[in-house]
Amino acid sequence: MTMNAMTTTTRKMPRAGVDLLRIVKINEEIKRVVSVSFKINIMALNAIFLAKRAGTAALGFGVLSNELRVFSTDLRICMESLTGLIHGCVGEVSIILQDIRFTRLLVEAAELAPRSGAPAILARRQAENDMHAGKLAKLRNQLKRALEDAFQMVELGGVLAKSAKIEAAYGQSFAVPLAQVSGEFDGVVEEIRASLESLRRSAFFTGH
Protein backbone atom coordinates (compact mmCIF):
# COMPACT_ATOMS: atom_id res chain seq x y z
CA MET A 1 0.00 0.00 0.00
CA THR A 2 2.76 2.43 0.90
CA MET A 3 4.66 1.72 -2.33
CA ASN A 4 1.50 2.51 -4.32
CA ALA A 5 1.11 5.70 -2.34
CA MET A 6 4.71 6.67 -3.06
CA THR A 7 4.23 6.03 -6.78
CA THR A 8 1.03 8.08 -6.87
CA THR A 9 2.65 10.91 -4.92
CA THR A 10 5.67 11.01 -7.23
CA ARG A 11 3.39 11.14 -10.26
CA LYS A 12 1.13 13.90 -8.91
CA MET A 13 3.88 16.28 -7.77
CA PRO A 14 5.16 17.33 -11.25
CA ARG A 15 1.61 17.62 -12.65
CA ALA A 16 0.46 19.87 -9.79
CA GLY A 17 3.55 22.06 -10.08
CA VAL A 18 3.11 22.43 -13.84
CA ASP A 19 -0.60 23.17 -13.38
CA LEU A 20 0.30 26.01 -11.02
CA LEU A 21 2.58 27.58 -13.64
CA ARG A 22 -0.11 27.20 -16.30
CA ILE A 23 -2.71 28.83 -14.05
CA VAL A 24 -0.41 31.80 -13.42
CA LYS A 25 0.00 32.27 -17.19
CA ILE A 26 -3.78 32.10 -17.70
CA ASN A 27 -4.27 34.71 -14.99
CA GLU A 28 -1.77 37.06 -16.65
CA GLU A 29 -3.60 36.73 -19.98
CA ILE A 30 -6.95 37.43 -18.29
CA LYS A 31 -5.47 40.60 -16.76
CA ARG A 32 -4.41 41.68 -20.23
CA VAL A 33 -7.93 41.17 -21.59
CA VAL A 34 -9.38 43.21 -18.69
CA SER A 35 -6.94 46.01 -19.50
CA VAL A 36 -7.97 45.96 -23.17
CA SER A 37 -11.67 45.98 -22.20
CA PHE A 38 -11.06 49.27 -20.34
CA LYS A 39 -9.47 50.58 -23.53
CA ILE A 40 -12.59 49.68 -25.54
CA ASN A 41 -14.73 51.55 -23.03
CA ILE A 42 -12.69 54.74 -23.46
CA MET A 43 -12.65 54.32 -27.24
CA ALA A 44 -16.43 53.86 -27.25
CA LEU A 45 -16.95 57.06 -25.23
CA ASN A 46 -14.80 59.01 -27.70
CA ALA A 47 -16.70 57.42 -30.59
CA ILE A 48 -20.05 58.43 -29.06
CA PHE A 49 -18.89 62.06 -28.78
CA LEU A 50 -17.63 61.96 -32.38
CA ALA A 51 -20.95 60.54 -33.57
CA LYS A 52 -22.82 63.37 -31.81
CA ARG A 53 -20.64 65.90 -33.60
CA ALA A 54 -21.40 64.19 -36.91
CA GLY A 55 -25.14 64.50 -36.24
CA THR A 56 -27.78 62.52 -38.11
CA ALA A 57 -25.22 61.13 -40.56
CA ALA A 58 -23.70 59.02 -37.78
CA LEU A 59 -26.77 57.92 -35.82
CA GLY A 60 -26.13 54.24 -36.56
CA PHE A 61 -22.47 54.61 -35.67
CA GLY A 62 -23.44 56.21 -32.35
CA VAL A 63 -25.78 53.32 -31.50
CA LEU A 64 -23.08 50.76 -32.29
CA SER A 65 -20.49 52.71 -30.26
CA ASN A 66 -22.81 52.58 -27.28
CA GLU A 67 -23.27 48.83 -27.79
CA LEU A 68 -19.49 48.41 -27.86
CA ARG A 69 -19.30 50.27 -24.57
CA VAL A 70 -21.84 47.84 -23.09
CA PHE A 71 -19.80 44.99 -24.58
CA SER A 72 -16.63 46.22 -22.84
CA THR A 73 -18.44 46.30 -19.48
CA ASP A 74 -19.93 42.83 -19.97
CA LEU A 75 -16.53 41.48 -21.00
CA ARG A 76 -14.85 42.96 -17.94
CA ILE A 77 -17.47 41.37 -15.66
CA CYS A 78 -16.97 38.04 -17.45
CA MET A 79 -13.20 38.28 -16.98
CA GLU A 80 -13.67 39.06 -13.28
CA SER A 81 -15.65 35.83 -12.89
CA LEU A 82 -12.80 33.99 -14.63
CA THR A 83 -10.37 35.57 -12.18
CA GLY A 84 -12.46 34.20 -9.31
CA LEU A 85 -12.25 30.70 -10.80
CA ILE A 86 -8.50 31.11 -11.31
CA HIS A 87 -8.03 32.02 -7.65
CA GLY A 88 -9.99 28.90 -6.72
CA CYS A 89 -7.69 26.80 -8.92
CA VAL A 90 -4.59 28.32 -7.33
CA GLY A 91 -5.98 27.51 -3.89
CA GLU A 92 -6.71 23.88 -4.76
CA VAL A 93 -3.35 23.31 -6.48
CA SER A 94 -1.53 24.84 -3.50
CA ILE A 95 -3.37 22.49 -1.14
CA ILE A 96 -2.61 19.53 -3.42
CA LEU A 97 1.10 20.39 -3.43
CA GLN A 98 1.11 20.64 0.37
CA ASP A 99 -0.78 17.35 0.67
CA ILE A 100 1.64 15.63 -1.71
CA ARG A 101 4.65 16.73 0.33
CA PHE A 102 2.99 15.64 3.58
CA THR A 103 1.92 12.32 2.06
CA ARG A 104 5.48 11.63 0.98
CA LEU A 105 6.66 12.14 4.56
CA LEU A 106 3.91 9.82 5.81
CA VAL A 107 4.92 7.15 3.29
CA GLU A 108 8.49 7.28 4.54
CA ALA A 109 7.29 7.09 8.17
CA ALA A 110 5.00 4.14 7.39
CA GLU A 111 7.84 2.25 5.74
CA LEU A 112 10.13 2.85 8.72
CA ALA A 113 7.47 1.96 11.29
CA PRO A 114 4.70 -0.17 9.71
CA ARG A 115 2.99 -0.70 13.08
CA SER A 116 2.71 3.02 13.83
CA GLY A 117 -0.40 5.04 13.09
CA ALA A 118 1.17 6.36 9.88
CA PRO A 119 -0.64 3.92 7.49
CA ALA A 120 -4.07 4.95 8.80
CA ILE A 121 -3.18 8.63 8.60
CA LEU A 122 -1.82 8.03 5.11
CA ALA A 123 -5.11 6.49 3.97
CA ARG A 124 -7.04 9.53 5.24
CA ARG A 125 -4.55 11.89 3.64
CA GLN A 126 -4.88 10.16 0.27
CA ALA A 127 -8.66 10.49 0.49
CA GLU A 128 -8.22 14.23 1.09
CA ASN A 129 -5.80 14.42 -1.85
CA ASP A 130 -8.42 12.82 -4.09
CA MET A 131 -11.09 15.23 -2.82
CA HIS A 132 -8.99 18.30 -3.67
CA ALA A 133 -8.05 16.81 -7.04
CA GLY A 134 -11.78 16.41 -7.72
CA LYS A 135 -12.43 20.04 -6.76
CA LEU A 136 -9.65 21.18 -9.09
CA ALA A 137 -11.09 19.11 -11.95
CA LYS A 138 -14.49 20.73 -11.38
CA LEU A 139 -12.97 24.23 -11.35
CA ARG A 140 -11.00 23.38 -14.48
CA ASN A 141 -14.23 22.47 -16.30
CA GLN A 142 -16.02 25.58 -15.02
CA LEU A 143 -13.15 27.75 -16.20
CA LYS A 144 -13.19 26.10 -19.62
CA ARG A 145 -16.95 26.69 -19.98
CA ALA A 146 -16.58 30.31 -18.84
CA LEU A 147 -13.85 30.84 -21.43
CA GLU A 148 -16.16 29.52 -24.13
CA ASP A 149 -18.85 31.99 -22.99
CA ALA A 150 -16.30 34.82 -23.12
CA PHE A 151 -15.25 33.75 -26.60
CA GLN A 152 -18.85 33.87 -27.83
CA MET A 153 -19.18 37.35 -26.30
CA VAL A 154 -16.09 38.51 -28.19
CA GLU A 155 -17.54 37.10 -31.41
CA LEU A 156 -20.49 39.45 -30.86
CA GLY A 157 -18.04 42.30 -30.21
CA GLY A 158 -16.41 41.52 -33.55
CA VAL A 159 -19.78 41.78 -35.32
CA LEU A 160 -20.42 45.15 -33.66
CA ALA A 161 -16.98 46.45 -34.66
CA LYS A 162 -17.43 45.37 -38.29
CA SER A 163 -20.93 46.90 -38.36
CA ALA A 164 -19.42 50.17 -37.09
CA LYS A 165 -17.03 50.07 -40.05
CA ILE A 166 -20.00 49.87 -42.43
CA GLU A 167 -21.86 52.69 -40.65
CA ALA A 168 -18.73 54.88 -40.74
CA ALA A 169 -18.97 55.01 -44.54
CA TYR A 170 -22.24 56.95 -44.20
CA GLY A 171 -20.67 59.62 -41.99
CA GLN A 172 -20.34 62.13 -44.85
CA SER A 173 -17.69 64.72 -43.85
CA PHE A 174 -16.93 62.63 -40.74
CA ALA A 175 -16.51 59.39 -42.69
CA VAL A 176 -12.70 59.36 -42.42
CA PRO A 177 -12.42 59.87 -38.63
CA LEU A 178 -15.33 57.47 -38.05
CA ALA A 179 -13.64 54.84 -40.24
CA GLN A 180 -10.41 55.29 -38.29
CA VAL A 181 -12.20 54.76 -34.97
CA SER A 182 -14.12 51.73 -36.24
CA GLY A 183 -10.87 50.24 -37.53
CA GLU A 184 -9.35 50.65 -34.08
CA PHE A 185 -12.36 48.90 -32.56
CA ASP A 186 -11.92 46.00 -34.95
CA GLY A 187 -8.21 45.72 -34.15
CA VAL A 188 -8.73 45.71 -30.40
CA VAL A 189 -11.51 43.10 -30.56
CA GLU A 190 -9.24 40.91 -32.71
CA GLU A 191 -6.53 41.30 -30.07
CA ILE A 192 -8.92 40.05 -27.39
CA ARG A 193 -10.04 37.16 -29.61
CA ALA A 194 -6.40 36.12 -30.06
CA SER A 195 -5.84 36.21 -26.29
CA LEU A 196 -8.90 34.07 -25.59
CA GLU A 197 -7.94 31.66 -28.36
CA SER A 198 -4.54 31.14 -26.74
CA LEU A 199 -6.28 30.52 -23.39
CA ARG A 200 -8.53 27.90 -24.97
CA ARG A 201 -5.44 26.08 -26.20
CA SER A 202 -3.74 26.18 -22.79
CA ALA A 203 -2.27 22.84 -21.70
CA PHE A 204 -4.11 23.37 -18.41
CA PHE A 205 -7.24 22.29 -20.30
CA THR A 206 -5.77 19.94 -22.89
CA GLY A 207 -3.37 18.16 -20.51
CA HIS A 208 -0.56 18.27 -23.11
**pLDDT, tens digit, 9 for 90 and up, residues 70-103:** 999 999 999 999 999 999 999 989 888 888 888 7
Residue 170: φ, ψ to 5°: -95, 10
| pLDDT at residue 13 is higher than 90 | no
Domains of the chain: 2-206 (1.20.1270)
Rounded Cα gap, residues 104 and 7, in angstroms = 10
Q: What is the mean pLDDT of the segment spanning 60-69?
A: 95
| pLDDT at residue 131 is higher than 60 | yes
Long-range CB contacts for residues 195-200, cutoff 8 Å, separation at least 24: 195/29, 195/32, 195/33, 195/36, 196/33, 196/147, 196/150, 196/151, 196/154, 197/151, 198/29, 199/26, 199/29, 199/30, 199/147, 200/144, 200/147, 200/148, 200/151
pTM (two decimals): 0.79
| pLDDT at residue 119 is higher than 80 | no
Residue 117 DSSP label: S
